[in-house]
Amino acid sequence: MASSSAKTTKRSKGSVAASKASPPPDERGLGGQTSDRQTLLLCLLLFSAVLVSYSSVIHNQFLDYDDDRYITENPSVKAGLTWATVEWAFTTAEEANWHPLTWLSHELDFTLFGLNPAGHHAVNVLLHAANAVLLFLLLQSATGFRWRSLMVAALFALHPINVESVAWAAERKNVLSMLFFLLALYAYGWYARRPQISRYAAVACFFALSLLAKPQAVTFPFLLLLWDYWPLDRIGAQDEKPQAGNTPRFSIPRLLLEKVPLLLLSAASAVVTMEVQEAGHAVKDLSLFSFPLRLETTVISYARYLGKALWPARLVAPYPHPINLYPAWQVTGAAVLLLLITAIVLRERRKRYLAVGWFWFLGSLVPMIGLVQVGDQAMADRYAYIPFIGLFLMIVWRIADGVADWNARPTHVRKIPTRWLAIPAVCYLLLLGTLTYRQVRYWHDPESFWRRALALTEDNYIAHDSLGALLHRQGRTDEAVEQFRAALAIRPDSLRANLNLGAYEFSQGKSAAAIARFQMVANRAGNVRLRSKAYSDLGFAYRQMGEPLQAKQAFEQSLQVMPNQPMLMVMLGLIAQKNGDLAEAVRQYTHASALQHADTQYLLLAQALRQEGRLDEANVAFQRAARVSPNLAQAQKTAESLLAGK
């Protein structure tokens, strides 16, 4: 009896050490109808705050920053949700990623909303609002603290750094992955209270769904070890019969063994991700960004993320990766800051939430921090979506405990009523909500988006080139060329800028210079889409110059790199038809029409079939053209122009 009492006392002390203090009556979120009603009201308040802060997003357009490749110009997504597109979602490695759940989400959106951006954006906002509510319920359930949990969730909901994850339609993968990540973490708390196979299966299932939306969740098993340390307090001597209300405790080897199935899921996701990114040439070579530069960028980026958490200013996308090493003082300062915070966290080890929050932030950023460089960005706001939860948790719990420590001092010290904390908290949240509302508006349209990126960053060759491409599509050629040349002045080896400038040079009659640029990009580009575009531009240039053999070779090379491009099949059909190879022309037009039910393709097919003497089939093709065409007369003019070689 005495030993049992001692064990209970020891466990109780460990629990106090873990959480610093038990929740006061007004903090408790457990049990009771009044408590449940208050929790529901707080969930509705949190959800509504997200809707208000992001309300202007429904007026935003799609951007030419991945929205085109993920939604507006993706034929599989634009086909809607069908059995064929479901199969495609699970088998494609398009955009150098394997995230079938994200593709299914975009396909469903297109089925519901078509190309109306308001619907796509609204779904992102609803997912973010759901994530904020889930985070609140998760923290309240795990810690017993209602108001602290609400503050962490509110910071997550309203911090403007998360605007990139929400207001960017193509970043659906982030908010969707987070939804299942939080459900997996919630299920883990359910499992930890009563370990059972069925409960563990729920954790694994939600975790797998999170990975199927975006592989950023690969660190989940490691974060669970932090969660075991605090707030679940699962680490210690094994309890055969834990006290009522306590979570069973286990040794560290037992807890590590418990994570093995989840680690296998992480490993499988990491292998698949690396394979598809390597195949898509998304992983940058060390010759482009050296390892010392990557190490320096890692240290600097961690420090910059900290700064943006506390002072969310000058938030843009993308932050271009530097070409040269940083000044030594910047790297040293950032390293000292990170080491200092780590030392403080380890020194304050009785406040377990500090270590959990800090190592959550450091650890969950590892896959995106740039040691394995994917893309041209040094850092990105969207990468903070999961990691910043750790920082918010540290800050909120430390402030609340600081007030509690102050009030625990001798009676002659003036105490601070806990509810007074609500005043600065609400003011700060209102400020964040206002900044978020403004930040959402910067994502309104492509031109304002890129011009703001140029205004707030230096040497942003990505923004210069993207703005130039936009201006070129709008017919503002002179402005576009200025942007292309600005991009090349910063980064002469920028393949995209060379490709765009080549298109301009060709339009100005500088055929030799343009073809040289197209060929250079085709030879050097690792990115599949960029290399395919270089070959197709080369083909169009040769065709316009009256060199069909070279044009045919270029179009075929483009299709080898990136199959299923209807327009290039049409071009090959035109070349074959002009050479008298009607069978090949019919084959190419038929394939193009199967991929894209366009009036011009059907008219060209009808013309080739008629020339072959297959009149019945030609009539069927013409009738299909008439069915799908919004303007048949204009489509006939376009077909005649193509046949004439214009």
Cis peptide bond N-terminal to 410, omega within 30: no
Which residue is listed with tokens 């038809």?
A: 577
- Which pLDDT belongs to residue 494? 85
Residue 512: exposure state from Cβ atoms within 10 A (0-12, 13-18, ≥19): exposed
DSSP state of 284: P
Closest by alpha carbon to 600, among 645, 562, 641, 559? 641
Instruction: Report the alpha-carbon distance of residue 145 to residue 421 in Å, rounded.
Output: 15
Residue 519: exposure state from Cβ atoms within 10 A (0-12, 13-18, ≥19): middle
Instruction: Report the alpha-carbon distance of residue 81 to residue 71 in Å, rounded.
Output: 13
H or E stretch including 618?
helix 615-628
Instruction: Report the alpha-carbon distance of residue 62 to residue 169 in Å, rounded.
Output: 7
Which residue is listed with tokens 């006939």?
A: 636
First to last CA, the chain: 96
Cβ neighbours of residue 310 closer than 8 Å, sequence gap 6 or more:
none
Q: How far from the centroid of its chain's Cα atoms is residue 478's Cα?
A: 34
* Strands 377-379 and 319-320, sheet pairing: antiparallel
- Tell me the two tokens of residue 639: 């077909």
Domains of the chain are 284-408 (no CATH), 459-562 (1.25.40.10), 564-646 (1.25.40.10)
Which residue is listed with tokens 């709008």?
A: 474
- Which pLDDT belongs to residue 23? 63
CB of 198 closer than 8 Å to CB of 186: no
Establish how many alpha carbons lie within 13 A of residue 251's alpha carbon, considering only the half-sphere containing its beta carbon: 3
> Which residues does residue 283 pair with via DSSP β-bridges, in sequence order?
374
Low-confidence ranges of the chain (pLDDT < 50): 1-21, 26, 28-32
Instruction: Report the alpha-carbon distance of residue 192 to residue 196 in Å, rounded.
Output: 9
Phi, psi for residue 137 in degrees, rounded to 5: -65, -40
Which residue is listed with tokens 């089939």?
A: 617
- Which pLDDT belongs to residue 371? 80
H or E stretch including 378?
strand 377-379
Which residue is listed with tokens 């075929």?
A: 556
pTM value? Answer: 0.86
H or E stretch including 319?
strand 319-320
> Which residues does residue 319 pair with via DSSP β-bridges, in sequence order?
379
User: What amino acid occupies position 444?
Assistant: H
- Tell me the two tokens of residue 418: 């806990």
